[in-house]
Chains A and B, each alone.
Chain A
Amino acid sequence: MPQLRIVVLVKQVPDTANVTGEAMKEDGTINRAALPTVFNPEDLNALEEALKLKDRLGARVTVATMGPPAAAQVLRESLYRGADEVVLLTDKAFAGADTLATSYALSLAVRKLGGADLVLCGRQAIDGDTAQVGPQTAEKLGYPQITCVSRIDEVRPPVVAAVSGGRRAGGHVTATRSIEGGFETLTSPLPCLLTVTGEANEPRPPSVKLVMTYKNAAAEALPDYDDSYLDPESDEAEVCMLDRHGRPVCRAKVLQWDHVALEADRESLGLRGSPTRVKEIESVVLAQSEARMVEPSEAGVNELVHELIEEHILG
């Protein structure tokens, strides 16, 4: 019986770090729709921390994401790495959310999951780089936060009382966060939300065994396994994976929630629940080069250095 309950919040993002020629338009701007999507890198670091805790202490790891149905890909990748349960928050009512509306929906999902001892997410997503959703989700949950975590030093799981409805008490987390020119270590009682940076770990690759299990077993046991994320009629499915002898080998709970399932206030969701608006977007266009070209010769370089000294650019 795993003691720790961990919820990892993840995001599927366009791969802004690897803008290839194909995504460049003729005017030098980016065609955002042409960028491939990836598992937000620091969210993978957060998942890795959760899985390390699961390996070490035993934990139930739930991964949640908000996005269009295609975002289920990051949930699948989470299952391949060892997540126990995945949740897709998908609904047109969520569209256009800024960080405040996003954190509202995510906080409701954590609540609907019954809360958590630890909520982990990446420090920031590479499309917006805001680093705001973590702290805002923590505030909405009333949890303390430790952001920019480069190391989880210690987790002591809570004690679960046999009475008072299994109330959890007494656990704590100690984590080290990177700050300008140094680091600091903080201790927080559980529950607590941590945002994790890329320094924390090297995320494990998908487990070949889990991929094969899910893939093969899915084909045998549940032909439309992939589509089970997207079934508008069901908001929950227990996916039982069978090996080739028909024995269950792993279970994954797939949940799909919309705003009704979350019992959300619609005014606080999506664009309507977002205080910020994008007034204008300018693509960064490479200006025509105006650089004065200097010959890579002794004479050329001497002349340049002389000029820089004359103009007091160089002392």
Chain B
Amino acid sequence: MDSLAGGAKTASRHDVWVVVEQHDGVAAEVSLELLGRARELAHRLGVGVGAVLAGAGEAAKALAPALVARGADTVYLADHEALADYLALPYARLVAGLIRAHTPQIVLYGATTTGRDLAPRVASALRTGLTADCTDLRIGDHSMKDMEYTDLLYQVRPAFGGNIIATIISPEHRPQMATVREGVMVMPAADPERSGEVVTVDFAPDPADLAVRLVRRVQEEKRVDLKGARVVVSGGVGVGSREGFALVEELARTLGGVVGASRAAVDAGWVAHDHQVGQTGTTVRPKLYIACGISGSVQHRAGMDQSARILAINSDPGAPIFSVAHYGIVGDLHKVIPLLIRAYRTKGAAGDGAAAPGGAS
């Protein structure tokens, strides 16, 4: 058995950590969301929250107070040229070294392309458990082979194409590590009054870590803000064609919403991948989600079933989407969507004179 929480105890308590992802001094939203959940877990365990912040220069450094405001008690700040851009080898060496030195009991990463590149490398180096793409984290107990384990991290995630929900534990290895899907934890409010400590970390990369070079990074302007949308209007295979999809777009425009899509619609080439909602796309929780011609696979439902209200329009009354919907319309979306557009324009005009009904067409 690997030792619980390791041998050398440089800290008296085993904290809950978040490995923060930042680009150009802007933290990934999921990192801030995780600080909120880390706060709750740490409170339950009676320990503190640590945040690992790495980068080069002032921009990264300037993030530390924001991390404290969102819930970190200690920010481990590593400032080194080799950490300017995310690269697996120097980052894995840094994070694994910090974990060995400070023995946190839980380490969380965003389930982004960066987090899912870094966390497995660290888990392998530390020979500890890692659960991918979690959608919930809780503290609980477990008994196994006459052993009682208390205060374990329950790592909850969909598996098997979303057909099952598994709760994973790592009873005998520390730290317990998980990557967590973006958008499933609630973003904590920033509290500028919170106080925390910034610990500057010495970092010396191994020359071999610098063998991989970033040639270029192209970040396209983010045009689709599904996560922040109040209204999402999504189309699926039932839309039938690229032309049919224009109707979905018109409804989204009319309602001031954002266009979403099922994987089938994306695969059909009717709409770009950055509109995809679901397990392999974006997780959304708008005030209103309108599913047009989407049958509602588990993979799709996993990305939208937390929406405040869901309206499903489908010609098949047996479509699984109706089981998560609050409102259902069984009918031809090519007839129903124009009815919705007209209804909104007239009601909207009656209720609010400032909304120009012609402006959206």
Contact = CB atoms under 8 A, between A and B. Distances in A.
Q: Is the interface of A mostly helix, strand, loop or mixed?
A: mixed
Interface stretch (B31-39, B64-72, B110-118): B110-118
B344 interface: yes
Contact of B331 (A19, A286, A296, A304): A296
A277 B159 contact: no
A189 B343 contact: no
Contact of B130 (A99, A140, A286, A289): A99
A149 to B, nearest CB: 11
Interface in A261-292: 274-284, 286-292
B164 A181 contact: no
Interface string A82-94: 0000000000000
A75 B222 CA distance: 41
B88 interface: yes
B88 A135 contact: yes
B214 A188 contact: no
A128 B157 CA distance: 10
17 contacts: A129-B279, A136-B123, A181-B220, A183-B217, A183-B218, A184-B216, A188-B212, A276-B130, A282-B164, A286-B320, A287-B324, A289-B328, A291-B322, A293-B328, A302-B343, A309-B347, A313-B309
A180 B115 CA distance: 12
Given A182-B217, A184-B214, A284 B123 contact: no
B1 to A, nearest CB: 10
B142 interface: yes
B113 A179 contact: yes
A292 B309 CA distance: 11
Shortest Cβ-Cβ A-B pairs, 5 listed: A296-B331, A16-B161, A275-B129, A139-B124, A291-B328
Contact of A292 (B121, B308, B328): B328
B133 A129 contact: yes
Interface in A171-213: 174, 177-189, 192
Interface string A239-262: 000000000000000000000000
A180 B322 CA distance: 31
Nearest to B230: A315
Contact of A291 (B131, B288, B312): B312
Interface string B222-234: 1000000011000
B91 to A, nearest CB: 12
Contacts of B326: 290-292
Interface string A128-143: 1111111110111000
A207 B193 CA distance: 67
A30 B128 CA distance: 31
Interface string B166-187: 1111111100000000000000
A49 B194 CA distance: 51
A145 B160 contact: no
B314 to A, nearest CB: 11
A47 to B, nearest CB: 21
B89 interface: yes
Contacts of A275: 2, 127-129, 170, 172-173
Interface of B: 2, 87-89, 92, 112-114, 116-117, 119-121, 123-125, 127-133, 142, 144, 154, 158-173, 211-220, 222, 230-231, 255-256, 274, 279, 287-288, 298, 308-309, 311-312, 320, 322-332, 335-336, 339-340, 342-344, 346-348, 351
A48 interface: no
Interface string A159-172: 00000000000000
A145 to B, nearest CB: 6
Contacts of A288: 323
Contacts of B323: 286-289, 291
A135 B172 CA distance: 22
A308 interface: yes
A301 B343 contact: yes
Given A132-B123, A309-B347, A315-B256, A186 B170 contact: no
B113 A180 contact: yes
Given A286-B320, A308-B309, A315-B256, A100 B163 contact: no
Interface of A: 14, 16-17, 19, 29-30, 32, 98-100, 103, 126-136, 138-140, 144-148, 174, 177-189, 192, 274-284, 286-298, 300-302, 304-306, 308-309, 313-315
A100 B124 contact: yes
Nearest to A135: B120
Nearest to A175: B215
B219 to A, nearest CB: 4
Contacts of A192: 212
Contacts of B324: 287
Contacts of B287: 313
A45 B263 CA distance: 19
A290 B171 CA distance: 39
B213 A186 contact: yes
Given A184-B218, A281-B164, A284-B165, A144 B211 contact: yes
Given A100-B124, A287-B323, A135 B117 contact: yes
Contact of B347 (A130, A276, A305): A305
Given A127-B160, A280-B166, A174 B215 contact: yes
A29 B133 CA distance: 22
A129 B220 CA distance: 26
A39 B312 CA distance: 35
Nearest to B299: A17
B162 A284 contact: yes
A136 B121 CA distance: 5
A308 to B, nearest CB: 7
Contacts of A177: 113
A192 B212 CA distance: 10
A292 to B, nearest CB: 5
Nearest to B297: A19
Nearest to B96: A139
Given A30-B160, A287-B324, A277 B168 contact: yes
